[in-house]
Amino acid sequence: MPAAVSVESVGKTYGSVTALDGATFAADAGQVTAVLGPNGAGKTTMVECCEGLRRPDRGSVRVLGTDPWRAGPDHRARVGVMLQDGGLPASVKPLRLLTHLASMYAAPVPVADLAGRLGIDSFAGTSVRRLSGGQRQRVALAAALVGRPEVVFLDEPSAGLDPHARLDVWELVRSVATDGAAVVLTTHSFEEAERLADRVVIVAAGRTVADGTPAEVAAGGTLEDRYFALTREARL
């Protein structure tokens, strides 16, 4: 079976800045793939190429067998996206927003379920503009998942969350993968990668420097030690 997400030798520059320089990785259905790498390594750019928000200069990106840059609405309905800055409308209340989004999909996840699992009920009556950063992040995650997507891209989904909320997010993300979706998330947390990921991809200076199960990438040591060794080499 072809990978749900396949990125091969992708290059992308912004003016004189090389963001991606041959990045390659794949993500399978039913698995959580965690992408790690230093600030500026190219993770967000790589994920944005997969989401169809950026066009690679070279290489190939396929999501569910389709080039996301050219994909139409049918493809986009099968892909869930959570952006780093949320991208949520400020004046709407969370439940209203999620109910509205759910109405656009053929088989949405019941909004009450999602809201309950992410603790959104407790701030359901507050407009997005007045939510805390962590609350807004949970709404953004719910928005990415409500359409029951086959592929989900999550940019640092648990960054800045309190420990309870982080556990809620991990459990939900795990259950989405168990239900068959391919989940790709970026993170700076080794704990998140170790506890949640079936596959770890380390990106440094726009290139993939490791790709495998957490144990394979750790290569007999800790993921953290391996990360520092690999990303230090890329900086030299």
Ligand X SMILES: Nc1ncnc2c1ncn2[C@@H]1O[C@H](COP(=O)(O)OP(=O)(O)OP(=O)(O)O)[C@@H](O)[C@H]1O
User: Under the rule (CB under 6 A), what is the footprint of ligand X?
Assistant: 14, 17, 19, 37, 39-45
Smallest gap from residue 50 Cβ to ligand X (A): 12
Smallest gap from residue 131 Cβ to ligand X (A): 22
Contact 36, 187 (CB under 8 A): yes
What residues have CB less than 8 Å from 203, skipping those under 6 apart? 23, 35, 36, 37, 41, 42, 43, 46, 209
Identify which of residues 152 and 201 has a Cβ nearer to ligand X in the complex: 201
Identify which of residues 155 and 168 has a Cβ nearer to ligand X in the complex: 155
Smallest gap from residue 41 Cβ to ligand X (A): 4
Nearest-5° Cα angle at 17, 11 to 19: 40
Output phi, psi for 180, to 5 deg: 115, -5
Identify which of residues 48 and 168 has a Cβ nearer to ligand X in the complex: 48
Identify which of residues 47 and 120 has a Cβ nearer to ligand X in the complex: 47
Identify which of residues 51 and 147 has a Cβ nearer to ligand X in the complex: 51
Identify which of residues 5 and 19 has a Cβ nearer to ligand X in the complex: 19
CA distance 142 to 133: 14
Smallest gap from residue 201 Cβ to ligand X (A): 12
What residues have CB less than 8 Å from 184, skipping those under 6 apart? 5, 27, 33, 35, 47, 50, 151, 152, 153, 154
Smallest gap from residue 206 Cβ to ligand X (A): 7
Report which of 102, 103, 96 is spatially closest to residue 125, judged by C-alpha positions: 96
Smallest gap from residue 136 Cβ to ligand X (A): 17
